[in-house]
Amino acid sequence: MKKITLLFFSLLLSASLIIPSRTQTVSAYTAQDSGYWVGMVKSSSNVTMVGTVDSYSAGVTLMNKQKSTSTNVATLFKGSKIVACKYATLDFTAVGSSSVNSYIYAQKTDGTYNSTADYFNGFYTAEGPYIVTGSTSSKAVTVVSGLRGRVNKTRNDNTQYEIVPISVAAPLNYYVADTNGNLRHYFAYFSSQSSLNIGVAPEFMEAGKKYYSYDGHYFYTKYTDLIDDLEKSVSTHAVNADAPWFNYYQFLPFHSTTNYTASDIDSYLRAKGYTQPAYTYYSTAQNGESTYPLSNQSLLYGSGSYFMQMQQIYGINPLLLLSISANESSWGRS
């Protein structure tokens, strides 16, 4: 009789439960009560119930006993809300506004977490891996730019994340080596996706193939393998498990020199479309209203000689200084 009841409930859930996409809210979920229960999430409209439990810890145990794949993921619910998931990402845009920062408490070598937090922006770092180990019903362990730590579900009445099964929303952070030998990083940005060329691709990467990584050192072809390794704090299943990769500029000291010239820097800026100087962030039009620079104007235009002077006078690498300037000023336009 119990089996028949569960089967009926599973059919009911599959017909009525709606799993939200990355941009929807958890209010799209419906459930029979407010208790804990485990379901297998195949798609936004296909959830099969496994069973009910009395607590979060019992739910995690039952969830981990299920055979999860990237297309059918064991998930722990509390009523209508997801509180744990075997393979999932964290949607940091749940904070609701790019003007509100999110906070992560870094994990120390002894497994505990710092009492003071580092901050990041949930719209510039829109998603991260969800790690069950160390997480609770009100805190989630994740990795942000290689920093492993724990994020509180709420802070100052702001929701800092939502858990999204990968069977519903594929991870938006990955790397691809293009046919020219460059490494492109595709990343979540304001609930959408953008990409950057971050240099020469590692030799072990196949062109056109998708690789997952949240530290930029160890890369995986299967997201489930990445999560499995993060659960154990190892890199066993990485394609470069024995040889972590390091981007040249990531650890380059500021006190270094470059062989590039002022002319090279100016040419680079022109190639990006900045062909005129912008004398100020905005100019006052005749009607008294502020207007932004034209799309081809930048305060960085023609600045190559100034960056090279910083190397000659202070020993600061001009390319690192240029990259910081571009990032902090939106390419000389803010």
- Tokens linked to 145: 């730019």
Q: Is the pLDDT of residue 16 over 50?
A: no
pLDDT of amino acid 284:
52
Q: Cα separation of 53 and 36, whole Å?
A: 5
pLDDT of amino acid 333:
87
Residues 150 and 135: beta-carbon distance below 8 Å: yes
pLDDT of amino acid 189:
77
Residues 158 and 151: beta-carbon distance below 8 Å: no
pLDDT of amino acid 12:
37
Residues 318 and 311: beta-carbon distance below 8 Å: yes
Cα dihedral value 129, 133, 139, 143, nearest 10: -30
Q: Which of 137, 131, 146 is nearest to 229 (CA)?
A: 131
Mean of the pLDDT values across residues 278-286?
Answer: 59
Locus of tokens 């800092």: 160
Mean of the pLDDT values across residues 289-299?
Answer: 78
Q: Point out the least confidently predicted range of 31-45, 146-160, 235-249.
A: 31-45
pLDDT of amino acid 33:
62
Locus of tokens 């594929």: 170
- Tokens linked to 6: 């569960």
271-281 residue pLDDT tens: 999 999 987 65
171-202 residue pLDDT tens: 779 999 999 999 999 988 776 788 989 999 99
Contacts of 11 (CB under 8 A, 6+ apart): none
Q: What is the percentage of the chain residues whose pLDDT exceeds 90?
A: 73
Q: What is the mean pLDDT of the chain?
A: 87
State the pairing for strand pair 182-189/192-200: antiparallel
Residue type, 232: K
Q: Is the pLDDT of residue 39 over 90?
A: yes
Helix (H) or strand (E) holding 182: strand 182-189
pLDDT of amino acid 11:
34
pLDDT of amino acid 124:
87
Residues 101 and 116: beta-carbon distance below 8 Å: no
**222 vs 35, 147, 216, CA distance in Å?**
33, 21, 15
